[in-house]
Structure 1
């Protein structure tokens, strides 16, 4: 099975070369009260993201948009003491992207590598690669979507209706004190709109020489106390090319459906939402296009009400995931319950929470190859956390937080965080942080077995201690920027060790150490009310020992394959009241065995009426064939493509 091979490659596919070698990563906001900012943010967001309102927020207004990922409670973006970049609904619409991973290219603090027609490697602050991108937590409306099989995200099974996304909050840097497992190098929080914002009918169809997509959504009132919506969407992904130029036989198609309802009963606010999907993808390492079926669904409920001067939130969800290939079957059922209470008293803004998760995981492997022993496991994860934002004096805030976790594989984890933020008189924000985060073992690292070659291991959690410094400013109404620097120290990284005297069997171990450092910077400037230009730059330096030793014959392949720098440039120009032109340029440095590249995308959008929009998007316009990943087995090439879309609202 392809996704067993994904996690196992560090022990088998990526270990084999190691064996051979062994033998031979504003002022308004500053002065506004928290409640006032929250109310203003809600008004701005509601106005901005209404289906009928396509006007653009000013940069000052964007700085007051409400975010929730940094402190797990609403705050203005200008107050968020973290390296956070927000992808708005308007950014998504104007990108012309037809899939979630392509939207994530808009975040300058992420590195996105497309592997083949449906697979991507996405990371923050290093460790990228199809086998190694396992240190990033991704949430959809509070539901975690990372895999306990390999700790990564299987992007071929994870999608959303992009027209329903309110914003995507991308945090680079550890989030362990609030989010726990897997929030080691960053958090992506995908937040969809409430049902009240999606009343009416939306129809979207698009097709091009590579991909096609369609979506249908309808919503309405739920009595006099709420609203509902339901959607149905589908996609076709055209096949990529092998490096030799031949077709890779990795085309895919799928459908997804879901619904959401939000309503109020007195002071109680309730949400119930769910999705189901059925995708057909292909195993394409051998270019034969062996069909794989990926199915699943989820159901989430949330209850929120005022309590003791604050807000109580209880959330529960169930997530089902199934992947079937000839001879193999992976099944995973997840139940999760989380409780959180946010309240203010005196100088303190307190958030307390607890959660419990149960994952039933089963993997039936084809005879004669690698397998998991035991085939079925029940994993548990229990946590409690607390965070206190303390106003030391006007403009100076100290944040103390910690999460305590207990998991089935590595036992107890303590994940603390300390942040200090200073709002300078001009409204800009200077902040610093010290954090500890971890990545808990996955099933492959504990249970993977290949008789005579590899045995299951007592693999422990990988850890990082991170030091961060950031500065965010909106110096003039037409300009905003953010600059963040980091220094990370990693311990207990995944390595591959031999058995003394006999060499084989190998086992996964925690003998790796590394340090990384770099800078992330982004900003925007309004040339005119109709023209905005933006830029983003990230750099990364990694220091680690790749010497082959009996304690690690892999040369620390788990460190990943990352560019030293990448540059993103974007222009959003309203040529007329009805015509938009968006141009994006990205320059990505070399990987270990892949040349760097410069690529461009462009979108021309035409609002025929207030409810009808036509767009034409050109992708990968500069090169006829380009490779983004250094994966020696899966790397595929992509070239120029065109995608036309029509969207109507009724």
Structure 2
């Protein structure tokens, strides 16, 4: 039995010719545990061009986490799964909160330049421009793959895909028949998931699931319990069916989590609730493929002194077509967000408490085959939003694929991040007033190389140089000093390298490695135009390294080891940690596993946030998964 592979590398042209069925079927229809590195390069991805293409042909810094990578990681939450991507920096804040970024600007308050999609539904917050990870407890067994792009995605995904895109794609209902029960418990986590699916007539399939989790508290700086334990319940369903040439999808989820507020260790409880419903229609049209998608999303956070409610309606249409040397994708979308934020008197508040925000866009991208293995990609998106008006987001990519399959690519892109409600409406009379905050902008330069030098080896290396303008600053009022305002006086440049690769030691043993570096150049001196010292730049390690071993000791026993080293932050020590998982495939339908996490250090802190930073130690988690 071959080692389970990490999807992520390019393959030779002869593999592409020999395995066209991989492109047609995509990873949901394949057992990725049985694919070689060359075959993995042919796994279909959709995030780079918003249309299916082989990973080997994708001219971007993209890393794919497969369903089997997730299973063999032993992770118990989505943010922990994302640690597998070497082009992401994951900082755990407390029991359920995380700060996750690509190419810098990380921190609970500053990780606001990364777009996260779940089956095409944006989970971007118009309140803070971030992602509330305490509300994203997905059923991990239903994830088909996660496509992680580091670098701007504005030409296809819009203003807030400034530093990267995480595209989480769940399995089609036809891939999850029967019943699955997954249960596990440890000294920090407990969770159970139940899923059942079946046929929907002669041309469709369905599934429904229910999952619950409980997470133990973290520790404060003194090693005492931080009173931030949490639990939650989530359920939903997924339908896929065909009517003639039409492919239809209807899916939805609802959840309620009980978590502690993260500003203190008093254990003050809050509730995070939400529900969503998404529909998608795909059909052939004019020699191409038309896709129409609509969704509704409701999010609530209830605290003793505050209530946030957000209702989102989104409609998007795109058409992908090929003619001659051109592969064209065009589309448009409109989003309406009704936002409400109320807080008890005496604290900072949003003025007005209610806003209706709109976001309208049109985009087009053309991949032009120039011959000799050279492809030129020209794309742009035009957006209009309620706060900063129109944004023009162009992208130019040039790729050269040698006859042996190696891919060299370069790109220049303009990206932006639109204002959020806090930046426009936050008010504390006499101290802070709402401001005319505008979009942050960036110009990104990228260069990448991806190769399979042998059937046993694959790697990808990417370099970037980003120039940021109009970053968030805090300015004083002349003469009187107060009130303060949020302004756009910041500038910065960042550069670095991301690299990852895999090597098959034997048919049953695979080694993988990843590296990312980051250097930031910015003005941190306190000035009247920015008394924060450009705190919005975040707190990032200069480097992080990860090593992974996936070894099938026998046909039924798996041993997975992970080692990661993360450099120090401004006021937090760097650390080296290790995770290990031992899995036993007792039968084809029954698996037992034991996972140990954070095995090296007694305690560690991952974030430099002086208010929210908690520490974490060793943990053990045992899980049983049965299907029938």
Q: TM-score, normalised by structure 2?
A: 0.97
Structure-2 separation of matches of 1:533 and 1:240: 32
- Which of 348, 351, 354 is matched with 1:370 structurally? 348
1:46/1:318 Cα in 2 relative to 1: closer, same or farther (>3 Å)?
Answer: closer
Structure-2 separation of matches of 1:30 and 1:133: 42
For residue 41 of structure 1, report the CA deviation from its aligned partner.
Answer: 2.8
Structure-1 separation of matches of 2:247 and 2:373: 33
- Which of 459, 478, 484 is matched with 2:437 structurally? 459
Structure-2 separation of matches of 1:241 and 1:375: 35
The aligned counterpart of 2:161 is 183
The aligned counterpart of 1:353 is 331
Checking the alignment, whether the CA contact within 8 Å between 2:13 and 2:404 is kept in structure 1 is no
The aligned counterpart of 1:493 is 471
Checking the alignment, whether the CA contact within 8 Å between 1:29 and 1:64 is kept in structure 2 is no
Is 1:439 paired with 2:417?
yes
Structure-1 separation of matches of 2:397 and 2:599: 43
The aligned counterpart of 2:577 is 599
- Which of 42, 45, 50 is matched with 2:27 structurally? 45
Structure-2 separation of matches of 1:326 and 1:453: 24
Q: Which runs of 5+ in 1 are unaligned?
A: 1-25
Q: How does 1:398-409 map to 2 (within 5 A)?
A: 398-409=376-387
For residue 463 of structure 1, report the CA deviation from its aligned partner.
Answer: 0.4
SS of the equivalent of 1:86 reads strand
The aligned counterpart of 1:573 is 551
The aligned counterpart of 1:61 is 39
The aligned counterpart of 1:164 is 142
For residue 539 of structure 1, report the CA deviation from its aligned partner.
Answer: 0.2
Q: How does 1:518-557 map to 2 (within 5 A)?
A: 518-557=496-535
SS of the equivalent of 2:30 reads helix
Structure-1 separation of matches of 2:135 and 2:512: 31
- Which contiguous aligned blocks of 4+ residues in structure 1 show a shift greater than 6 angstroms? none
Is 1:197 paired with 2:162?
no
- Which of 560, 563, 571 is matched with 2:538 structurally? 560
Is 1:289 paired with 2:267?
yes
Is 1:116 paired with 2:98?
no
Structure-1 separation of matches of 2:332 and 2:182: 40
Is 1:272 paired with 2:250?
yes
1:543/1:93 Cα in 2 relative to 1: closer, same or farther (>3 Å)?
Answer: same
CA deviations 1:86-122 (Å, max 9, x no partner) are 0000100000001000000000000000000000000
For residue 426 of structure 1, report the CA deviation from its aligned partner.
Answer: 1.2
Checking the alignment, whether the CA contact within 8 Å between 2:589 and 2:627 is kept in structure 1 is yes
1:502/1:642 Cα in 2 relative to 1: closer, same or farther (>3 Å)?
Answer: same
The aligned counterpart of 2:77 is 99
1:322/1:162 Cα in 2 relative to 1: closer, same or farther (>3 Å)?
Answer: same
SS of the equivalent of 1:106 reads coil
Structure-2 separation of matches of 1:418 and 1:38: 28
Q: Which runs of 5+ in 2 are unaligned?
A: 1-9
Structure-2 separation of matches of 1:286 and 1:538: 33
Q: TM-score, normalised by structure 1?
A: 0.94
For residue 449 of structure 1, report the CA deviation from its aligned partner.
Answer: 0.1
The aligned counterpart of 2:4 is none
Structure-2 separation of matches of 1:37 and 1:175: 29
- Which of 617, 623, 639 is matched with 2:595 structurally? 617
Structure-1 separation of matches of 2:564 and 2:213: 26
Structure-1 separation of matches of 2:20 and 2:329: 16
SS of the equivalent of 1:94 reads helix
Structure-2 separation of matches of 1:37 and 1:82: 22
Q: How does 1:76-475 map to 2 (within 5 A)?
A: 76-475=54-453
SS of the equivalent of 2:536 reads helix
SS of the equivalent of 2:103 reads coil
For residue 284 of structure 1, report the CA deviation from its aligned partner.
Answer: 3.8
1:552/1:107 Cα in 2 relative to 1: closer, same or farther (>3 Å)?
Answer: same
Structure-2 separation of matches of 1:28 and 1:475: 9
Checking the alignment, whether the CA contact within 8 Å between 1:38 and 1:76 is kept in structure 2 is no
For residue 327 of structure 1, report the CA deviation from its aligned partner.
Answer: 2.0
SS of the equivalent of 1:90 reads helix
The aligned counterpart of 1:626 is 604
CA deviations 1:287-309 (Å, max 9, x no partner) are 11000011000000000000011
The aligned counterpart of 1:72 is 50
- Which of 557, 563, 568 is matched with 1:585 structurally? 563
Structure-1 separation of matches of 2:282 and 2:125: 28
Checking the alignment, whether the CA contact within 8 Å between 2:426 and 2:432 is kept in structure 1 is yes
Checking the alignment, whether the CA contact within 8 Å between 2:15 and 2:38 is kept in structure 1 is no
SS of the equivalent of 1:91 reads helix
SS of the equivalent of 2:35 reads coil
Checking the alignment, whether the CA contact within 8 Å between 2:15 and 2:39 is kept in structure 1 is no
Structure-2 separation of matches of 1:397 and 1:44: 23
SS of the equivalent of 1:467 reads strand
Structure-1 separation of matches of 2:353 and 2:511: 52
1:430/1:586 Cα in 2 relative to 1: closer, same or farther (>3 Å)?
Answer: same
The aligned counterpart of 2:455 is 477
For residue 633 of structure 1, report the CA deviation from its aligned partner.
Answer: 0.4
Structure-2 separation of matches of 1:38 and 1:133: 39
Checking the alignment, whether the CA contact within 8 Å between 1:248 and 1:284 is kept in structure 2 is no
Structure-1 separation of matches of 2:321 and 2:471: 38
Checking the alignment, whether the CA contact within 8 Å between 2:472 and 2:488 is kept in structure 1 is yes
CA deviations 1:569-613 (Å, max 9, x no partner) are 000000000000000000000100001000000000000000000
SS of the equivalent of 1:183 reads coil
Q: CA RMSD in A?
A: 1.1
Structure-2 separation of matches of 1:321 and 1:57: 39
Checking the alignment, whether the CA contact within 8 Å between 1:27 and 1:425 is kept in structure 2 is no
The aligned counterpart of 1:17 is none
For residue 40 of structure 1, report the CA deviation from its aligned partner.
Answer: 2.2
The aligned counterpart of 2:483 is 505
The aligned counterpart of 1:5 is none
For residue 28 of structure 1, report the CA deviation from its aligned partner.
Answer: 4.3
For residue 29 of structure 1, report the CA deviation from its aligned partner.
Answer: 3.8
For residue 30 of structure 1, report the CA deviation from its aligned partner.
Answer: 6.9
Structure-1 separation of matches of 2:336 and 2:35: 42
SS of the equivalent of 2:83 reads helix
For residue 32 of structure 1, report the CA deviation from its aligned partner.
Answer: 4.5
1:63/1:416 Cα in 2 relative to 1: closer, same or farther (>3 Å)?
Answer: same
CA deviations 1:151-190 (Å, max 9, x no partner) are 0000001121110100000000000000002100000000
